[in-house]
Structure 1
């Protein structure tokens, strides 16, 4: 009897998108190897590979739903570890141009937790899956191709830091989750493939974060206060309770407006916002836990794999390796989770995925809506360069009316946050009942 060859998938990158890709793949492959250059510990610690992990992270409601589907009991596990949960509208204080939106109830659970804690819990669950192996302290330095160059058949690796000789890890499928710094486009060009087009929207975002011992303010009844940057007031901040007794404050400015990293300057920046709640609470908080730390995000980025003329078989991508948007919208981890579900569908039953079909579905089901929201919002700031098409201008005008109504109509506020959470489609904000609520008078 001839033995059936085992099928192996390699995931490049062990961050959230990579871990969720591994969870999706393990249902259809005998072995899934996740390769990352960092140490992948069991404990929640900051990692070099996620330099933004000290700042506020948002797990949108759709992301929470997918995590719970993949890992039953995960929400309660995070809550036991100190995470705070609540309704995305009813338990969050959203403030725009100094005015809070109404307290509706969206019926959507959202999780407020630090990125290291969330990632550690997901990593532990993935590590426990039969057939999954986490290969840390190992860096992918290239792809291996079939003799005719038409198929990716594995990856070339070296020990992190460049010590020792390299090796090759064979694979039936390679998935790129290396983030916006992925070198896959260059490696493909080096092997004679057409360059994949990119789109960028330069936002010049800088955000600065400081953690405090949690106090009752700025809003005792809410786990998060979000002062949203708008074209009229292009500075913002988020103050969220996380990880049992910690309050994280992330202040941000766009187009080169940099929140200071000295404690006094940080407070002055908070004081300049459209609403005083966060500043007043933090000015009275006598227990800062660290010094302010900055992070820069130059541009939203989308790699248009779905428009590529041709692609090799055996290679797919998802998460920030495909689309990385302005992080103030909190979409990144949820877009990665949605992408993992597209991946799961395309490999189900041991199928060999067609890259063209996969990337078309990834665009439609995971990327398009998040990119549309981010692009429309970013282009609302006059200094952000980009093509303000009639469709974008119409969307901006309509959304301004929605947000005006959301100040006094809780149902409109809830409908808005359900779309923002990538649960409901944008058409939900154009339903007849919404249009009637927006009519003058």
Structure 2
């Protein structure tokens, strides 16, 4: 390719973010090496290095588009392999505050796919790229640098079975090791300032169980989504994959759904609507519930550093780890890879420039969206500025209107899906629609969840 850079790129971490990075780097570097401590090749189940892989993973509308840009045709391949596909506003059953959103044909494509299945298909495509190779079953010990520490030159790795250590030289190193990234420590060892971190304590606990469908609880839907709210801080996502169901229940601020079957069923019965408990009741469990906890969202502010070594960038959860209930993680990883692709078009990466671009163009909007949402829960610590309080008031109006009007529901889901900025809801025509329907001018028919017949939404205020 005309933009090819002679040399080697080294990707630390072979999970989703690392795979996206490898795909992009293969377009410009002569060789790309992906290092991971797990076995990667041929793995179709949850990997040891991804303990959260058994939980439901959402792929936002913008994320599906981004992955399609990286791997054209992958949506059709996933559907052919058993993933569900439909319209975000027309084939997903959304409940906010216990009330269903109105339906619409939005044109936004939703895909319900398990994390292991998506990762397997992405990995297969990356493996097919001729100049990419995987170095599996190797621990990552640290990075190597020039004597003055101004440039990262590679990484030190160890094969655990033999204890043999070696150095891998590279022209560019990408840290995609995830939330547990050691880059903050490596930088201080090289004499750099400690990176500042923003944390938002949310205390998400979530538990997943898988089922085989016996009696179809979905109808024309591919997912049932009951979103936690301040009045009932419990939620669940129930997605259809072929003839199987992946069901994740979650609670906020330490309210972890039980991992024993009876306790899990009781938790489902406590949700604002019965749809998900009913879906579990009429289906056949194929495993026991498994729990996972997420204490706090974390953002490392590399873009604020005055100095940063050349030949080194970070992507995915290594930079920013989002509250998983917003389903932003995989989408942000894909968008970060596309941002790196764009940056590389002008030549070898300028590390700090790229991290500032990543923060501004990819991270800031979703981080603010998530933070504003989490601060609706009164016990989540954080400052409720005037801007945040005004956003809370607007979202309350939007969600109220969205239960009555499908166009408002689509507009809201476009923002939540990272297709549009929140400002899109403030355009005059949409704002007038929001005000009209949040004032309860008239109910709009909403499809009933089980028998397909329509019923009216709640009566207007």
**Aligned twin of 2:334:** 337
1:322 equivalent in alignment to 2:319: yes
1:19-73 CA distances to partner (integer Å, 9 max, x unpaired)?
0001111111000111100000224111011111111111111111122122121
1:398 aligned to which of 373, 378, 394: 394
1:90 equivalent in alignment to 2:90: yes
1:382-438 CA distances to partner (integer Å, 9 max, x unpaired)?
111012121111111111111110000100000111111111122211111111113
Deviation at 1:151? 0.4
Deviation at 1:359? 1.2
Deviation at 1:237? 0.5
1:385 equivalent in alignment to 2:381: yes
Check 1:347–1:160 CA distance in 2 against 1; reply closer, same or farther (3 A cut): farther
Matches within 5 A, 1:22-33: 22-33=22-33
SS in structure 1 of the partner of residue 130 of structure 2: coil
**Aligned twin of 2:243:** 245
1:272 equivalent in alignment to 2:297: no
Tell me if the contact between 1:236 and 1:252 (Cα under 8 Å) persists in the aligned partners.
yes
**Aligned twin of 1:65:** 65
SS in structure 1 of the partner of residue 53 of structure 2: coil
Deviation at 1:347? 1.6
1:421 equivalent in alignment to 2:420: no
SS in structure 2 of the partner of residue 436 of structure 1: helix
Return the alpha-carbon distance in structure 1 between the equivalents of residues 326 and 14 of structure 2.
23
Tell me if the contact between 2:210 and 2:247 (Cα under 8 Å) persists in the aligned partners.
yes
Tell me if the contact between 1:90 and 1:104 (Cα under 8 Å) persists in the aligned partners.
yes
Could you list the runs of 5+ residues in structure 2 that have no partner in the other structure?
Answer: 442-461
Tell me if the contact between 2:224 and 2:237 (Cα under 8 Å) persists in the aligned partners.
yes
Return the alpha-carbon distance in structure 2 between the equivalents of residues 131 and 5 of structure 1.
13
Deviation at 1:6? 3.6
Check 1:400–1:160 CA distance in 2 against 1; reply closer, same or farther (3 A cut): farther
1:205-235 CA distances to partner (integer Å, 9 max, x unpaired)?
1000000002444331210000000011100
Matches within 5 A, 1:121-200: 121-160=121-160, 163-200=162-199
TM-score, normalised on structure 1? 0.96
**Aligned twin of 2:369:** 373
Check 1:5–1:284 CA distance in 2 against 1; reply closer, same or farther (3 A cut): closer
Tell me if the contact between 1:34 and 1:135 (Cα under 8 Å) persists in the aligned partners.
yes
Deviation at 1:356? 2.1
1:181-219 CA distances to partner (integer Å, 9 max, x unpaired)?
001110110111101110000111100000000244433
RMSD (CA atoms) = 1.4
Count of matched residue pairs: 434
**Aligned twin of 1:41:** 41
Tell me if the contact between 1:198 and 1:303 (Cα under 8 Å) persists in the aligned partners.
yes
Return the alpha-carbon distance in structure 1 between the equivalents of residues 412 and 69 of structure 2.
24
**Aligned twin of 2:449:** none
Deviation at 1:5? 9.3
